[in-house]
């Protein structure tokens, strides 16, 4: 890509701008002159009318003032209309001047036909073409002869100074010279614009990719956190299941144990009552005697042994140590049992 074509002040359309400014200030001067002339003519007419009425005298000033104050208000409307006419006329003259191209010609090493360049840049409507030129402040040229094909070398062209001017840029100018295939761009400007567009697109793609990478990274972190949380929930669930299973098993075992003890107490209770009731004077029972008495009672209780068989699968059973401890406490209170090495207890049956 070559260097951008440098234009001098005349090639950049200083004459066109100067003529436009001259038209602008000239219109103001002409409008002011016309207003001044009209006002003087109106005033002279008023003075003449006042003279004809013999108003101008020693008291001319006072009489003239009264006359001017009392004159018809339509005159001021005439002045306003004249002023508006001058403004419109000046504006039209400036528009006409802005459509003339006063830029000095320059030779472009290579020029690209304007509409072809716009289509390659993705701009498809005339309105968008003008907006695109204004947005990127493109240097637009008007070739002195039609461009053959999409590009042409060594083209003599004039710089269009008002191409991106918000006030004087005209779609009519664009369309007229586009139709003649004389509106063009400097190839170096066009190539630079293409490179900037690619760089901009690449930057936008890079930004979009970076944003997507950050989004994916965030999703991965969220997924990892979710997996970890799920693992914790599963572990907690399994732990609770284990605890519930153990609790259920313990509860089931406890129920079976309580049912066994109920059957054992059904035999052990009458044994304790009989031992207390039938104990001879001075009798002290031993634990083996208590166990033997239970075994004898158990053998006599077919109903209890049948229930135990259904419950445990065996008719034989042995009360726990705590059950025997309870029986021993009963016998101690009756003075019929004491631990080995303990102090002799007074036998309640021997008193009296």
Place of tokens 């039609």: 146
Which of 275, 270, 273 minimizes the C-alpha distance to 290?
Answer: 275
Question: What is the C-alpha to C-alpha distance for residues 31 and 18, in angstroms, rounded to an integer?
Answer: 19
Mean pLDDT to the nearest integer, 54-73: 56
- Domains in the chain: boundaries: 1-100, 104-181, 248-350
Question: What is the C-alpha to C-alpha distance for residues 165 and 21, in angstroms, rounded to an integer?
Answer: 14
- Range name among 156-165, 217-226, 239-248 with the lowest pLDDT average: 239-248
Q: Provide the pLDDT for residue 351.
A: 40
pTM, 2 dp:
0.37
341 or 10, which is more confident: 10
- Range name among 64-78, 179-193, 218-232 with the lowest pLDDT average: 64-78
- Range name among 28-32, 121-125, 248-252, 295-299 with the lowest pLDDT average: 248-252
Which of 308, 330, 219 minimizes the C-alpha distance to 264?
Answer: 308
Helical ranges in 100-186 per DSSP H: 114-120, 126-136, 171-179
User: How do residues 282-330 score in pLDDT, each as one tens digit?
Assistant: 889 999 999 998 999 999 999 999 999 998 889 889 899 999 899 989 9
């Amino acid at each position: 890509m070559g260097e951008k074509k440098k234009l001098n002040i005349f090639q950049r359309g200083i004459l066109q701008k100067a003529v436009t400014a001259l038209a602008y200030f000239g219109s103001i001067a002409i409008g002011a002159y016309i207003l001044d002339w009209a006002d003087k003519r109106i005033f002279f007419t008023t003075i003449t009318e006042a003279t004809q009425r013999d108003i101008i005298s020693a008291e001319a000033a006072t009489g003239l003032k009264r006359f001017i104050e009392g004159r018809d208000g339509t005159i001021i409307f005439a002045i306003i209309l004249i002023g508006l006419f001058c403004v419109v006329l000046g504006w039209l003259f400036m528009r006409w001047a802005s459509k003339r191209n006063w830029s000095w010609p320059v030779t472009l090493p290579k020029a690209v036909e304007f509409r072809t360049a716009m289509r390659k840049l993705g701009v498809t409507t005339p309105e968008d073409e003008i907006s695109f030129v204004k947005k990127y402040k493109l240097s637009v040229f008007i070739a002195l002869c039609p461009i053959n094909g999409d590009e042409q070398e060594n083209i003599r062209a004039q710089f269009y100074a008002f191409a991106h001017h918000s006030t004087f840029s005209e779609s009519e100018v664009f369309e007229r010279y586009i139709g003649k295939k004389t509106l063009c761009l400097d190839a170096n400007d066009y190539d630079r614009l293409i490179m900037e567009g690619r760089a901009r697109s690449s930057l936008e793609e890079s930004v979009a990719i970076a944003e997507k990478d950050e989004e994916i990274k965030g999703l991965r972190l969220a997924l990892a956190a979710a997996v970890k949380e799920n693992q914790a929930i599963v572990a907690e669930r399994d732990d609770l299941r284990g605890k519930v299973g153990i609790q259920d098993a313990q509860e089931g075992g406890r129920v079976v144990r309580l049912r066994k003890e109920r059957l054992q107490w059904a035999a052990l209770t009458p044994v304790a009552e009989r031992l207390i009731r039938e104990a001879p004077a001075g009798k002290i029972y031993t634990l083996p005697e208590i166990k033997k008495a239970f075994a004898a009672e158990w053998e006599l209780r077919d109903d209890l042994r049948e229930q135990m068989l259904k419950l445990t699968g065996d008719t034989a059973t042995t009360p726990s140590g705590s059950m025997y401890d309870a029986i021993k406490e009963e016998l101690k209170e009756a003075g019929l049992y004491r631990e080995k090495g303990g102090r002799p207890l007074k036998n309640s049956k021997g008193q009296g």
